[in-house]
């Protein structure tokens, strides 16, 4: 249940997202972020808040580990709406975390996938993808590359 312990501390985040989250051919836009993460419930919970200074918004993620189901639920909220998005759930296996859920984007139902990979002491990768065809195809639409700030962790 300590899968997200690596995230504790302060990270610089290189973001890139598609200008249209449902169009794999749309261009990427890049922007910075800074996140501060903390560990709770002896590793069974994790919280981080991320600021996107050039975008004028912030978000937070609450991650909770279900000890009976042995899986994580990840809840995202952003400052613009002040509401929690539906959770994605899943687990880590062989150093890779995959989490799935259902949501809507631009009024369309989407299947959502988060992937955590390439986790080291000082770096990690997160990506988000949407499927509109029951997971037959995915559009990766947001990628974050995390670099730990010196002296943090």
The pLDDT assigned to 79 comes to 87
pTM, full prediction: 0.93
pLDDT higher than threshold 70 for residue 29: yes
* Nearest CA among 126, 141, 138 for reference residue 6: 126
pLDDT tens per residue across span 89-130: 999 999 999 999 999 999 999 999 999 999 999 999 999 999
Domains delineated in the chain: 5-21+28-148 (2.40.128.20)
């Amino acid at each position: 249940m300590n899968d997200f312990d690596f995230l504790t501390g302060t990270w610089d985040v290189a973001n890139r997202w598609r200008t249209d989250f449902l169009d794999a051919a749309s261009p990427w836009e890049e922007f910075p972020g800074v996140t501060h993460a903390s560990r709770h419930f002896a590793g069974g919970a994790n919280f981080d808040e991320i600021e996107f200074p050039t975008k004028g918004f912030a978000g937070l993620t609450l991650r909770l580990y279900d000890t009976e189901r042995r899986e994580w639920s990840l809840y995202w909220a952003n400052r613009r709406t002040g509401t929690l998005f539906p959770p994605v759930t899943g687990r880590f296996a062989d150093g890779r975390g995959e989490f799935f859920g259902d949501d809507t984007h631009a009024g369309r139902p989407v299947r959502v996938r988060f992937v955590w990979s390439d986790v080291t002491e000082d770096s990690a990768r997160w990506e988000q993808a949407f499927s509109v065809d029951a997971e037959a195809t995915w559009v990766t639409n947001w990628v974050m590359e995390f670099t730990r700030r010196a002296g943090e962790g």
